[in-house]
Structure 1
Amino acid sequence: MKNFVMAAAAALLLSTAAQAKDFNIPSEKPVASISMPDGWTANETDSGLEGTSADSAVYFAVDISETGALDKTIPEAAKFLEQQGVKIDPKTEKQKQDKLNGKDAVFVSYAGTDKDGPATIGLAIVVLDEKSSLILTYWGTKGEEDKHGAEINSIVGSIKAAK
C-alpha cells in the first residue's frame, strides 16, 4: 500500500472476508458503523473509535465531527498526530476528492515519520449528511504497513452511515 488514498480507493473494490468486530460511532445514537479486524486493539474514544494492528505498525481512527466545523478538522488532526510523535512533511501533501461507500470524501495523504522511522499518514473527511461527518486518521510505518493492506481495506470498506 503506497498511501491512504490508494487504500481507500481499493477498499471500494474489495470485499471484506476477514472476521471483524462491529462498532457504532458514537456508541449511543450512532451516525455510522465500522468494523475492526480480529487481532486489532480497538478502543472507543469520546468522539469515535481508534484501533491499532497487533504489531503496532498501523493506527487507524474514526471520529464524528459536525459538518459545519470541518475547517478546524485538519489542523486538529495534525495536532493529535504531533502529540503521538508523528511528524508530517507538509511538502508531500496530496489531496483528492472522491466517494467512500457512496458518500462525498476528501482524502489527504502525507509522508512523514513516526517513532519507528518513515511513515505514511492519511486523513479523510467523509460527509455523512448536512450535520455529521467522519474524520479518518491513519498512519503506518513504511514497509511494515504493507502487511496490513487487506485489513486496512476491510476497515475502510466497512464504514457505513447509520440508517
Structure 2
Amino acid sequence: MKSRLINSVLASCVTLMVSLSAQADQTINYPDKNPIFSISFPDKWTVEEADQSVSASSEDELVNMELLALDAEALDSAVDIAKESLEEEFEGMKFKDAPEKGELNGMHVVFLNAQTTMEGVKMAVNCCIFAPKGADKFFMLFNVVPFESLEAHGEDISKIINSIKGE
C-alpha cells in the first residue's frame, strides 16, 4: 500500500515537473542596463526588443503586444497619449467605460479597454499603463486580439500582464 502511494506521488511530481518545464517563459528585463521592470512571455511566443520597446506575438500570430517605455514627465497625459495612439492606429475605435485605475505588483496601473473592427473581424484592443514607483520612465502595453481567439489566449494575456514587475 505504501509503495503504491509513493509511486503515485512520484508520478504526480514527475507530471507536474514536465508540465511546468513545458510552460517555461521568456523573461525580459527592461532596459537591459538598470532595468525598471520585467515582463514574461510564453516560451513559444516571438519576442523582439528595441531601444524603447518590446514586441511580442503568439505562435499563431493572433495576439500582438507592443510595450513602449516613455519619460515620466508624460505620465499625466499618458491616458490621452494612449487613446490618441489607438485612434490613429485603428479606425472606428470604441472605448469601454472610463479607464480603470489601481495597483499591480507595486506599480500604479491604468487599464483602457476598447474594441474595433479590422477587415470584418471584431478586435479587443487594450492598453495597460504602468508607472513603477520612483522611476523616471513609465510604460504602456498595447494588446490587440480578435474576440474569437480570447478563449484560446485569454489566460496567456492575463499571465503576461500579471508577470510585469517593477525592479
Q: Could you say which TM-score interval applies, normalised by the shorter chain?
A: 0.7 to 0.9
- Which of structures 1 and 2 has the bigger CA Rg? 2
Q: In the TM superposition, what is the alpha-carbon distance from 1:84 to its structure 2 partner?
A: 5.4
What is the count of residue pairs matched by the alignment?
Answer: 145
Whether 1:102 aligns to 2:126 is no
Q: Structure 1's 38 and 102: CA in aligned 2 closer, same or farther, altered over 3 A?
A: same
TM-score by length of 2: 0.74
Moved over 6 A (4+): none
Residues 5-32 of structure 1 show CA distances to partners (whole Å, capped at 9, x for unaligned) of: xxxxxxxxxxxx6311111112233111
Q: Which residue of 1 aligns with 2:41?
A: 36
Match of 2:55 in 1: 50
Aligned to 2:151, what secondary structure does the other structure show?
Answer: helix
Q: TM-score, normalised by structure 1?
A: 0.76
More strand by share: 1
Amino acid of the residue matched to residue 25 of structure 1? Y
The share of aligned pairs that are identical, in percent, is: 25
5+ residue gaps in structure 2? 1-19
Distance change (3 Å), C-alpha of 1:105 and 1:72: same
Partner of 1:124: 128
Residue 30 of structure 1 aligns to a residue whose secondary structure is: coil
Higher relative contact order (Cα pairs below 8 Å, separated by 6+ residues)? 1
Amino acid at match of 1:110: A
Structure number with higher helix proportion: 2
SS in 2 for 1:143: helix
Q: CA RMSD in A?
A: 2.2
